[in-house]
Amino acid sequence: MERFTGSFTQQEAIPEEGIAAALEVMRHGRLHRYNTAHGEIAETALLEEEFAAFTGARYCLAVASGGYALATALRALQVCPGAPVLTNAFTLAPVPGAIASMGAQPVFIETTPDLTIDFAHLEVMARETGARVLMLSHMRGHICDMDRLMALCDGLGLKVIEDCAHTMGAAWNGVPSGRHGVIGCYSTQTYKHMNAGEGGLLVTDDPGLAARSVLLSGSYMLYARHRAAPPPEVFEALRLDVPNVSGRMDNLRAAILRPQIALLAERGVRWNALYRVLEAGLAQTQGLRLIPRPAAEQFVASSFQFTLPEWEPERVAALIARCAARGVEMKWFGAPDPVAFTSRYAHWRYAAPNPLPQTDAVLAGLIDMRLPLTFTTEDAALIARIIRAEVLAVGQGPVGPVDALPMGD
């Protein structure tokens, strides 16, 4: 019986250029983004300038985390406590967490079987709640039809914040993820497309939103030191009215990240090669449904999902346990309780969610798996063979008791 012995959480090393730059920052000790020597440009300011160029955005702000970027976007849009904010039901906890941190009310939208936001339900809930903001989560890298979405949101008067934690470097019809809405937010947490351990980036073309975001992040009166930001005169009308909610990125993280921007395209090719091997290995597996990827979606597949339609919970739990016993770590969004990073909308009681039957049906059989770039295509083929064999065995055979689900992260 084949067994996989690799690690689903082991990332690639930081590029040598990033290590050297980080060492230089530690040697001179000027880690704070505004602590610079005469004539020196901070690593953080350079990162913002380079990431703005990468996305084609006019402005960029580097912050402490992807979740902080999301909350900053809401504050920049002046979302008030109690205001409804629409978001995907299929997402991760930092998205509704950012909304709740404002005192605003997350309003969850149904998920389609293809893991994207349901347009019909979005329109109903926008009209019913009077919401003015949609925080759109490109969850696990699945991008909806952004042309249709933006036409719908424009007609409904919805401002769109894009959560691009899983779509850095991806695009829809050639337009980079994060560039359809008024603000795009990205994460540089370890398991994302660029790795600084933690961190986030925010992009926009709107000078007022950019200036508010910079002030919110804790620029004090040093906003003129930002290079990918509006000119100082845009800040003049705002600088005494926008609160400081400090969440800056430091120069050490920025130094680690800057060389990784140039690697994003090559990383995307490698991730997608792993994805396609898994997809081919699991095609036509009885009881398993793959997620279709539209031709307009230029995705970056740092993870892999499939569904087990109409499987009983005990059977799904048995599959998870049996694959784990053979070294394949999978997460299940239909598990009764949250496990590590994996939870679903019904677990977030602070958001007071209403039941969503369509989403519940999708998540009940949704399986999720990381694809670190430390894997080879041979690894992906082996993983596919193990999953396929166990799906066929569990899907057709009797299911005994499962003592415990493996704890993932």
Selected from 3.90.1150.10, 3.40.50.1820, 3.40.190.10, 2.60.120.380, the CATH number assigned to the domain covering 264-396 reads 3.90.1150.10
Number of H helices, E strands in the chain: 13, 14
- In angstroms, the CA 304 to CA 366 distance is 11
For residues 223 and 33, the answer to whether their CB atoms sit within 8 Å is no
Question: Which amino acid is residue 284, in one-letter code?
Answer: Q
pLDDT tens-digit readout, 319-329: 999 999 999 99
**Rounded Cα gap, residues 271 and 269, in angstroms:** 6
Strands 183-187 and 200-204: antiparallel
Q: Is 407 in a helix, a strand, or coil? A: coil
Is residue 23 very low, low, confident or very high in pLDDT (cuts 50, 70, 90)? very high
307: enclosing H helix or E strand: strand 303-307
Q: What does the pLDDT look like over 29-80, one tens digit per residue?
A: 999 999 999 999 999 999 999 999 999 999 999 999 999 999 999 999 999 9
What is the pLDDT at residue 393?
A: 96
Q: Report the C-alpha gap between 10 and 5 in whole angstroms.
A: 12
The packing angle between helices 119-129 and 146-156, to 10°, is 20
If 0-12 CB within 10 Å is exposed, 13-18 middle and 19+ buried, where does residue 340 land? exposed
Q: What does the pLDDT read at residue 396?
A: 79
- What pLDDT sits at residue 398? 72
Q: Which helix (H) or strand (E) holds 298?
A: strand 297-298
Six-digit token pair at 50?
């380079």
DSSP classification of residue 141: G
Measured distance between the N- and C-terminal CA atoms of the chain, rounded to whole angstroms: 26
pLDDT (tens digit per residue) in 330-379? 999 999 999 999 999 999 999 999 999 999 999 999 999 999 999 999 99
- Nearest-angstrom CA–CA distance, 157 and 159: 7
Q: Is the entire prediction scored with pTM above 0.85?
A: yes
Average pLDDT of span 262-269: 98
- Given a cut of 70, whether residue 108 has pLDDT beyond it is yes
Q: Which pLDDT belongs to residue 400?
A: 61
Average pLDDT over residues 125-130: 98
Burial of 407 (0-12, 13-18, 19+ CB in 10 A): exposed
| pLDDT recorded at residue 395 | 86
pLDDT reading at 406 higher than 50: no
Note the pLDDT tens digit of each residue in 133-174: 999 999 999 999 999 999 999 999 999 999 999 999 999 999
**DSSP track, 169-206:** T-EETTEETTSSSSEEEEE-STTSSS-SSS-EEEEES-
Helix (H) or strand (E) segment spanning residue 303:
strand 303-307
Decide if pLDDT at 261 tops 60: yes
Query: What does the alpha-carbon distance between residue 205 and residue 228 come to, in Å, rounded to a whole number?
Result: 10
Residue 327 token pair = 């070294």
User: What is the rounded CA–CA span in Å between residue 369 and residue 388?
Assistant: 14
Whole-number Å distance between alpha carbons of 201 and 52:
10
Q: Where are the alpha helices (DSSP H) in 223-364?
A: 232-236, 251-261, 264-282, 313-325, 357-364
Confidence at residue 313, expressed as pLDDT on a 0 to 100 scale: 97
Which pLDDT value is given to residue 138? 98
For range 22-33, the mean pLDDT: 98
Yes or no: say if 69 and 202 are a contact pair by the CB < 8 Å rule.
yes
Question: What pLDDT is recorded for position 408?
Answer: 36
- The mean pLDDT of 287-292, rounded to a whole number, is 98
Share of the chain above pLDDT 70, in %: 97
The pLDDT value given to residue 407: 34
Given this model, what pLDDT does residue 20 score? 98
Nearest to 323 by CA among 221, 250, 246, 393: 393
**Which of 80, 65, 294 is CA-nearest to residue 163?**
65
pLDDT value, residue 401: 54
Mean pLDDT to the nearest integer, 103-119:
98
Which residues are 184's β-sheet partners?
162, 203
Domain ranges of the chain: 16-261, 264-396
DSSP secondary structure of 343-372: --GGG-GGG-PPP-HHHHHHHHTEEEEE--
Report how far apart, in Å, the C-alpha atoms of 298 and of each of 23, 169, 203, 268 are. 35, 9, 20, 10
CATH number of 16-261: 3.40.640.10
Under the banding of pLDDT at 50, 70 and 90, the label for residue 409 is: very low
DSSP run (H or E) holding 161? strand 159-163
Residue for token digits 């050639």? 174
Above 80 in pLDDT, residue 185? yes
- Strand order of the β-sheet with 297-298 is 175-176, 171-172, 297-298
Query: What would the mean pLDDT of 381-402 be, rounded to a whole number?
Result: 87
* pLDDT tens digits for range 194-214: 999 999 999 999 999 999 999
Concatenated DSSP letters for 61-113?
EEES-HHHHHHHHHHHTTPPTT-EEEEESSS-THHHHHHHHTT-EEEEE-B-T
